[in-house]
Structure formats: C-alpha cells, structure tokens
Structure 1
Amino acid sequence: MPTPQTLKNHARFNPLFHFTILPLLVLNLIFSIYITIHRWPAYQHTHLWWIVMAVVFILMAGDARGSALKAQDRIVRLEERLRLAALLPPADRTHIDDLTTRQLIALRFASDAELPALAHTALTQRLEPKAIKQAIINWRADNERV
C-alpha cells in the first residue's frame, strides 16, 4: 500500500517525461553541439541546423508538458469552485471568484470539513498556496495529478 499523500510527498514526477524524454532530448542537444565543434569544417550548416532542431525539440516537449498542466489546472479550478459552492456558507460563496487559480489548486488538498474555514482564511488573508497547504490538517490526496 502506498504511503498516504502529505505536504512533504505530494509533488510528483511523470517518469516517461522526466526520466526518459527530457534526458534524451538534453543528450541530443549535447551530442549536436559536440559534433558541431569536432566536425566544424564539414557540413557547417547541417550541424548548426541540428543544434537548432535539438533546441526546438526541447521547447516542444516543454510546451506540451506546460499545456497538459494548464489543462489540469483549469479542471482542478472548476472542480474546486463546484466543491466550494456546495460547502461554503452563502456569505462566502459570492467570493469564490476572488480566489486565484493557484489558491484553488492548493485548496484541493483540504478535507471537506476544513475547507470552508481554510477558504475563508485564504480569502481574507490572501494566503499563498504554500501557506494554504501548510495549514491543512486532514490531507485529501490527489493521486491523479501528474
């Protein structure tokens, strides 16, 4: 059984991206630079183009990863707004839109019992996401996030 998720272990890696794709792309860039330096007189433009394409591949991978995280953030934001609408008292419901996306993402780890008080505190004191996560007592795991 995996250990329960907490503040200390909630960050996650995507093994395929972080340990395979990204290292191979960096190695490709290093190899392209190495070949360009050691084979400079021959095929100058081709070697320079390899470096440019190696950088482009890294940028593409980073953009793809960033787009996936942005989509996840939008879904989490929607889920948390719906959850807050169901759990907050009427006076606080009108201020749900005042919470930033980063605050909503941090609030997803709070249990239903402590969410209303924590959301009110986040609204009134403008808590940063790290402070919100540190204030959570009963951690609600999010094992689907990558």
Structure 2
Amino acid sequence: MESQNYKNHTRFYAPHHFVFLPLLIILEVIGIYKVFNDEQNQLSWILFSAVIFLIFYLAIMLRQHYALVLQNRIVRLEFRQRYFEIFGLRSDDVEEKLSFGQIAALRFAYDEEFKMLLEKALKENMTGDEIKKSIKKWKPDFHRV
C-alpha cells in the first residue's frame, strides 16, 4: 500500500464518486439541453432537471453529513484516548482550546510529533492545515470516510 501523506490523504468511494454522481451530472446536462431544444416538452424537461438537481444535491449533502458527523465524533474520542494514553490526564481543558480542524490534523502525527505539535498548536494557534504540513512522519489513516 502506498505511503500516506498530505498530498494523497483524500479518499473516494468509487460507486458514489465515479458512477452515481457522474450519471446524475449526465442526466442533468441532458435535461438542460432538452429544456432549450424540445419546446413541446419544455415544462417536462424543466421538472426533470429540477428533480435530478435535487437528487444530486441530496446525495452529496446526506452522504457527507452522516459520514462526517460520525467521523468527527470518532476523531474527538480518538484524541481524548490518545491524550490520556500519552499524558495520563483528561483532555477536557486542552480540547476546549483546540478547533476541530486542529484535533483532526493532530491524528496524522505519531506520538513524539503529536506532543510537539500539540504544544505548538496551543501556543501559536496553528490551523489544521498548518499542522498537517508540519508533520514530518505521516501516520496514515486508511479507514476514514
């Protein structure tokens, strides 16, 4: 398996990203084309295009919403567990000072870098992207959505 890093850490779900969504886009393009080129059935094609657009919108929003809400909860729990394992303390005070983006970015760092980057994030208020770019040895996560 390829080594994971900042440039290749995004993931795709093939049936959704490469079959279902492109099919909806093709149907939407056909519908819009027909709106302007089939005057007899123009109202039907407008309705068709509107329905396809709504299905497309819902498919993207619902899939992302459900997956991300659950993933965000797991990332926070993972941070709390890891913080406790490293420092032997509850993470409540530290977690309140960090944004979710910072917490999510810290999970890609191994323990030694995690400690250093956590301190730096708290002192310098680094963004999640800055934290990710600062990681020298990337801890891959091949199981996220």
- Please tell me the TM-score bracket, short chain as reference: 0.7 to 0.9
Cα deviations by residue, 1:2-29 (Å, 9 ceiling, x for unpaired): 1111122212222222211111111111
Which is richer in helix?
2
Q: Confirm or deny: 8 A CA contact 1:84 1:116 kept in the other structure.
A: no
Note the aligned Cα RMSD (angstroms). Answer: 2.0
Aligned counterpart for 1:57 among listed residues 49, 55, 58 = 55
Q: Note the C-alpha offset of 1:31.
A: 0.9
The amino acid across from 1:102 in the alignment is G
Q: TM-score, normalised by structure 2?
A: 0.88
Answering whether residue 126 of structure 2 is matched by residue 112 of structure 1, we say: no
Could you say which residue in structure 2 is the equivalent of 1:81? Answer: 80
- Asked if the contact 1:22/1:58 (under 8 Å) is kept, the reply is yes
AA in 2 matched with 1:97? E
Give the C-alpha shift of residue 75 in structure 1. Answer: 1.4
Deviates more, 1:14-23 or 1:80-89: 80-89
Shift of 1:88: 3.4
**How many residues matched?**
144
CA shift for structure 1 position 37 = 1.7
Match of 1:38 in 2: 37
Shift of 1:56: 0.3
List gaps (5 residues or longer) in structure 1: none
Matched residue SS, 2:40: coil
Q: Given that residues 99 and 123 in structure 1 are in contact (C-alpha distance below 8 angstroms), is that contact kept between their aligned partners in structure 2?
A: yes
Displacement of 1:94 in angstroms is: 2.6
**1:17 correspondence with 2:19:** no
Distance 2:89 2:118 in 1: 13
How far apart are the structure 2 equivalents of 1:89 and 1:115? 15
Offset, 1:143: 0.4
Does the 8 Å contact 1:92/1:120 carry over to 2? Answer: no
Identity over aligned residues, as a percent? 33
Are the aligned partners of 1:106 and 1:129 in contact in 2 as well (CA < 8 Å)? Answer: yes
Query: Secondary structure at the residue paired with 1:139?
Result: coil
